Amino acid sequence: MTMAKLTESMTNVLEGDSMDQDVESPVAIHQPKLPKQARDDLPRHISRDRTKRKIQRYVRKDGKCNVHHGNVRETYRYLTDIFTTLVDLKWRFNLLIFVMVYTVTWLFFGMIWWLIAYIRGDMDHIEDPSWTPCVTNLNGFVSAFLFSIETETTIGYGYRVITDKCPEGIILLLIQSVLGSIVNAFMVGCMFVKISQPKKRAETLVFSTHAVISMRDGKLCLMFRVGDLRNSHIVEASIRAKLIKSKQTSEGEFIPLNQTDINVGYYTGDDRLFLVSPLIISHEINQQSPFWEISKAQLPKEELEIVVILEGMVEATGRMGFTPGYL
């Protein structure tokens, strides 16, 4: 009995360590010091295979999906939903686009203001007090650019002012005011949505590093723990789990990364959480469970992954979000 328990604990250690490695790093096994008899009884193929095999995770430990889209030909589809595309961009690109949109808009209208002044001949009558220019105190492209910024941002310094003797300037003023409001609404809305995304809220949601299989109330269960570090609660929190494992159908079709639901209390309501303290999530291994046909000896050899997704509404911001976890 002692040797069997040592072998069982050693197998669990190997399985736990293999799930704790990075995506591209090889699995390194640190075997504990065991009696010689226990080391001899340990299946050799498990220790050899796990030291050489690399584990490619579907979802990393930080919750980010390790999937990269390649050979996407219809890239124009990203531009049809430009708002979501901008929100999904990284912060450095988002800030760059934010600055570039405003700068290009100011330069574009500044150029038009300068062309109007140039075509009307305002540049030739800068010092002429009897000449009524389109925009007073506009004597070059730099001053036209500054007037464009003042107009779109409604700063209104009062030094450069449009006159009523320039109908084309009045029309341009209306166009720039309307387009400037649209640009402000679009860019500020994009930045607000990106700032208020609940992704960072997931940093204070903690999943247990390992899942365990044990008896509970006379039933064999797969269990893991989830907890919230913040005092603000997750409203209407619900949890679900997926088993990521390759599958071969009865017709011989091979399905890589097949997703199978793991019942964590959907029919009993246990999947809806009141997450004010750490909770233990349990999955009963019965005939409907995807683990039913996997034996204890076969489990360390299986290429599988369990992804846990916690959904809910952030109480502080009222925004929905989901947090994927990896076991």
Range from 57-61, 195-199, 252-256 carrying the lowest mean pLDDT: 57-61
pLDDT (0 to 100) of residue 113: 94
Q: Is the pLDDT of residue 18 over 70?
A: no
Spell out the residues 6+ positions from residue 179 whose beta carbon is closer than 8 angstroms to its own.
105
pLDDT (0 to 100) of residue 318: 61
Q: Which CATH class is domain 201-326?
A: mainly beta
Domain residue limits, the chain? 91-196, 201-326
The tens digit of pLDDT for each residue in 201-212 reads 777 888 888 889
Work out the widest C-alpha separation in the chain, in whole angstroms: 110
Please tell me whether the overall predicted TM-score, pTM, comes out greater than 0.85 for this model. no
Cβ proximity of 310 and 274 under 8 Å:
no
> Do the domains spanning 91-196 and 201-326 agree at the CATH topology level?
no
pLDDT (0 to 100) of residue 178: 94
**Measured on CA atoms in the order 140, 146, 150, 153, is the torsion positive or negative?**
positive
If one looks up domain 91-196 in CATH, what number appears? 1.10.287.70
- The DSSP symbol for 130 reads T
Which is more confident, 43 or 228? 228
- The DSSP symbol for 223 reads E
The tens digit of pLDDT for each residue in 147-159 reads 999 999 888 788 8
The tens digit of pLDDT for each residue in 109-127 reads 999 999 999 998 888 888 8
- Rounded Cα distance between 137 and 143, Å, is 8
- Rounded Cα distance between 75 and 73, Å, is 6
pLDDT (0 to 100) of residue 29: 39
Q: pLDDT confidence of 196, banded at 50, 70, 90?
A: confident
Distances (CA, A) of 172 to 41, 151, 248: 86, 11, 66
Burial of 277 per CB tally in 10 Å (0-12, 13-18, 19+): exposed
